[in-house]
Amino acid sequence: MKHITYVSQAQRPMSQDDLAGLLEHSRARNLQDDITGCLVYRYNDDYDRGNFLQVLEGPEAAIDDVWRRISSDNRHHTIVIIDEGSIEERMFSNWSMGFRNLDAEDLKHAEGFSDLGSDAFWAQINEKNLSNGLELLRSFYDG
């Protein structure tokens, strides 16, 4: 199995309806394709900008295929893979695509994600210091 974790910037801020549509379609397809994972969307008021962070995991051919579609999807751009490789076990085995629309209230208590897209965020990624971020992502979902 293979996993890809990436961040990207939304083409324009996503409405609740936009997000619901995206998720509904993604979950149905992922179920068919044996893909699991988690998607986080965060709208940043200061920049009037939305960011995605997504973890995808599943059979290699299915991941390559969904990646071709996602990476050419014009709803987002500036897509940066922050981690990818083979895995033995899934992290999100129960979710065809877990989702969290993070707001500022969540982030007050979540150091690390408050920096999504900032210099500090990129520095952390460059140091491959990712495990905390993924654990945090999971804790949002479990909570």
Ligand X SMILES: Cc1cc2nc3c(=O)[nH]c(=O)nc-3n(C[C@H](O)[C@H](O)[C@H](O)COP(=O)(O)O)c2cc1C
Contacting residue, 3, 5, 7, 30, with ligand X by CB under 6 A = 30
Residue 44 CA to residue 21 CA, distance in Å, equals 21
Give the interface size with ligand X as a residue count (CB under 6 A).
Answer: 15
CB of 41 vs ligand X, minimal distance in Å: 8
Six token digits for residue 132: 């905390």
Quick one: which segment of 62-70, 80-88, 120-128, 133-141 binds ligand X (CB under 6 A)? Answer: 62-70
Name which of 5 and 54 has its Cβ closer to ligand X. Answer: 54
Assess 52 for contact with ligand X (CB under 6 A): yes
Which position has the token pair 């491959």?
128
Sign of CA dihedral 138, 28, 19, 129: positive
Angle at which helices 16-33 and 60-71 cross, to 10°: 150
Assess 29 for contact with ligand X (CB under 6 A): yes
Assess 77 for contact with ligand X (CB under 6 A): no
Taking CA atoms, 25 is separated from 46, 49, 137, in Å, by 30, 23, 22
- Could you list the residues that contact ligand X (CB under 6 A)? 22, 26, 29-30, 39, 52, 54, 56, 66, 69-70, 73, 75-76, 97
